[in-house]
Amino acid sequence: MPQGLWFDPELCLIGGSWCAPVGGRTLALINPSDGSVLCNIARGEAADIDAAVGAAQNALQGDWGRMSALERGRILTRMGQLVLERVDDLALLEAQDVGKPLTQARADAVALARYLEFYGGAADKVHGQTIPYLEGYTVYTLREPHGVTGHIVPWNYPMQIIGRSVGAALAMGNAAVLKPAEEACLTALAFAHIAQDAGLPDGALNVVPGIGAEAGAALTAHPGVQHVSFTGSVATGALVQQAAGRNVVPVTLELGGKSPQLVFDDADLDAALPFLVNAGIQNAGQTCSASSRILVQRDVYDNIRHRMSEAYGALTVGPALSDLRVGPVISQRQKDIIQGFLGKGADLEVAAQGVLGDEAVNTGAYVLPTLFAGVPADHPLARDEIFGPVQVIIPFDTEEDAIRIANSTDYGLVASIWTGNGARQMRLAKAIRSGQVFINNYGAGGGVELPFGGVGKSGHGREKGFEALYGFSQLKTVAAYHG
Ligand code: NAD
């Protein structure tokens, strides 16, 4: 059993009751730090999803559907407070489950609390409009929940992704059915227990763990679901969109990227350096907004290559609970995918690698962080999402080159520009195809207030900030004729 587990992990939450899945099946949850079985979790299937959707519909007809926005907000705020009280417990579970170093897991738990605080405070602040119209009419708009929302969450940042999608959906008065990833779902279950403790009415949140092709596919295809939020791979995202399309319901897709940082010769390199490296290796590179491409102007190329290589030499890799800079990747399967990419880089210059800490055992899914230099912009390692601790440095000459290379992948999630030239900052912020652009920073600390989402194969729709509240609601126009 995982250290610090305080609930039965083999159950689903449906309509306020914790129950075994209908088929009685379970799945083993593997600890990526050493390959051991942490515990079993429920392997829900279509019948469980059906029951969860029914429970969500009942909640919308009952106390939850009748609750004021103010009261919904208070419950979310209470959930945030309880998360804050249990930050260390949640971090311990996440570290064992995802393989995330404890410090990073703790930051995710704090972010979950922050999402709940933000959406708790925002619940009663999403207003409609009055629209001046023809004589004799009064016209106004109402923001209403979609109804039942489906949430398919991956294994890389369970707490943050649950916070941003389930938090916003509940704030707008939807009833949620959550399908966490089969590789990591302990904090999703913990979150559901905390929601109950905070007084969330039965059925407002339902959680059905299980594998993607069973529980996940059943949720996205269910005719009782009115909105689907998905974070994960492009291939699965396309399946989710097809399934939701058959029911003509909207989807939000957040599908990852190949996010660049552009370093110009007039940049503050001391300020840039920690961001250049950390944005690539945080969570062992398994971050949708990881910066896997470092585009460097030729004049400062040798300098950056040298300094990033030094930083890589100090990256220690080991078990999540040892809390080194880099933990294992999520699974042996993910390790094999990353090793496959490293094989494709056999023709490239490896500038530097991290080092394995003494505590790492050979049954864990460890990958040494690897920095490739002098990489052509059209090389597979410079174009494809690797989802591991691998970065490439790509030299460029002019601003036009930098823009062309930055925009040359299928993705567009996040980009950053390092330059002291204000006019260039403004030009590039417009020219780069990306859902977010950062100037002289990367990620801006991940603020929950900042709308987030991609263009191209990075997906569509926006989560975080107030934009998510618009996405998790629909607009009704009321036109009253009174003469
Ligand atoms: P995935 O997209 O298959 O899984 C993500 C979630 O979708 C999981 O909860 C899974 O159970 C669910 N799912 C899988 N098949 C489904 C289906 N047919 N219908 C509905 N839901 C389904 O990703 P993965 O297999 O865990 O990882 C594969 C690759 O995806 C990684 O190597 C990485 O490149 C990418 N990925 C990206 C992100 C991201 O944040 N953008 C997160 C995880 C994985």
Same domain as 286, residue 177: no
Same domain as 384, residue 317: yes
What pLDDT shows up at residue 361?
87
Same domain as 320, residue 267: yes
Q: Report DSSP letters for 336-355, one per residue.
A: HHHHHHHHHTTTSEEEEE-E
Q: Is 212 in the pocket of ligand 1 (CB under 6 A)?
A: yes
Same domain as 216, residue 265: no
Report the distance separating Cα 442 and Cα 381, nearest Å. Answer: 21
Ligand 1: which residue has its CA nearest to atom 12?
212
Atom of ligand 1 nearest to the CA of 153: 9
Total of domains in the chain:
2
What pLDDT shows up at residue 329?
98
Q: Which residues pair with residue 392 across a beta bridge?
A: 293, 372
Report the distance separating Cα 10 and Cα 42, nearest Å. Answer: 5
Ligand 1: which residue has its CA nearest to atom 44?
232
Atom of ligand 1 nearest to the CA of 155: 43
Helix (H) or strand (E) holding 164: helix 158-171
Same domain as 327, residue 192: no
Does residue 131 lie within any of the structural domains?
Answer: yes
Does residue 452 lie within any of the structural domains?
Answer: no
Same domain as 336, residue 247: no
Report how far ligand 1's centroid is from the alpha carbon of 341 (Å): 18
Amino acid at 423: A
Report how far ligand 1's centroid is from the alpha carbon of 294 (Å): 26
What pLDDT shows up at residue 140?
98
Identify each DSSP E strand in 54-145 by its residue range: 130-131, 137-145
Contacts (Cβ under 8 Å, ≥6 apart) of 329: 32, 99, 284, 285, 286, 335, 338, 365, 366, 367, 388, 389
Q: Is 255 in the pocket of ligand 1 (CB under 6 A)?
A: yes
Q: Report the SS3 class of residue 304.
A: helix
Report the distance separating Cα 431 and Cα 281, nearest Å. Answer: 27
Question: Hey, what are 230's tokens?
Answer: 């998905």
Does residue 7 lie within any of the structural domains?
Answer: no
Does residue 2 lie within any of the structural domains?
Answer: no
Report the distance separating Cα 245 and Cα 251, nearest Å. Answer: 8
Does residue 430 lie within any of the structural domains?
Answer: yes
Q: Is 11 in the pocket of ligand 1 (CB under 6 A)?
A: no
Does residue 453 lie within any of the structural domains?
Answer: no
Going residue by residue through the chain (483 aa), what tens digit of pLDDT does each one get? 999 999 999 999 999 999 999 999 999 999 999 999 999 999 999 999 999 999 999 999 999 999 999 999 999 999 999 999 999 999 999 999 999 999 999 999 999 999 999 999 999 999 999 999 999 999 999 999 999 999 999 999 999 999 999 999 999 999 999 999 999 999 999 999 999 999 999 999 999 999 999 999 999 999 999 999 999 999 999 999 999 999 999 999 999 899 999 999 999 999 999 999 999 999 999 999 999 999 999 999 999 999 999 999 999 999 999 999 999 999 999 999 999 999 999 999 999 999 999 888 889 999 999 999 999 999 999 999 999 999 999 999 999 999 999 999 999 999 999 999 999 999 999 999 999 999 999 999 999 999 999 999 999 999 999 999 999 999 999 999 999
Does residue 218 lie within any of the structural domains?
Answer: yes
Question: What CATH code is carried by the domain that includes residue 247?
Answer: 3.40.605.10
Question: What CATH code is carried by the domain that includes residue 386?
Answer: 3.40.309.10
What pLDDT shows up at residue 360?
82
Ligand 1: which residue has its CA nearest to atom 6?
154
Does residue 317 lie within any of the structural domains?
Answer: yes
Same domain as 277, residue 247: no
* CA nearest to 49, candidates 9, 12, 8, 10: 12
What pLDDT shows up at residue 57?
98
Same domain as 399, residue 436: yes
Residues involved in catalysis: 254, 288
Same domain as 464, residue 391: no
Contacts (Cβ under 8 Å, ≥6 apart) of 202: 15, 16, 17, 55, 59
| Pairing status of strand 175-179 against strand 316-317 | unpaired
Report how far ligand 1's centroid is from the alpha carbon of 32 (Å): 17
Same domain as 273, residue 247: no
Q: Is 203 in the pocket of ligand 1 (CB under 6 A)?
A: no
Ligand 1: which residue has its CA nearest to atom 40?
288
What pLDDT shows up at residue 52?
99
Ligand 1: which residue has its CA nearest to atom 38?
232
Report how far ligand 1's centroid is from the alpha carbon of 274 (Å): 29
Report how far ligand 1's centroid is from the alpha carbon of 212 (Å): 8
Same domain as 196, residue 103: yes
Atom of ligand 1 nearest to the CA of 183: 26
Q: Which residues pair with residue 150 across a beta bridge?
A: 177, 228
The residue segments making up the domain with residue 399 are 259-447
Report the distance separating Cα 192 and Cα 331, nearest Å. Answer: 25
Please give the order of strands across the beta sheet that includes 137-145. 130-131, 137-145, 473-481
Q: Report the SS3 class of residue 312.
A: helix
Q: Is 158 in the pocket of ligand 1 (CB under 6 A)?
A: no
Amino acid at 119: Y
Question: Hey, what are 247's tokens?
Answer: 């029911």
Same domain as 314, residue 169: no
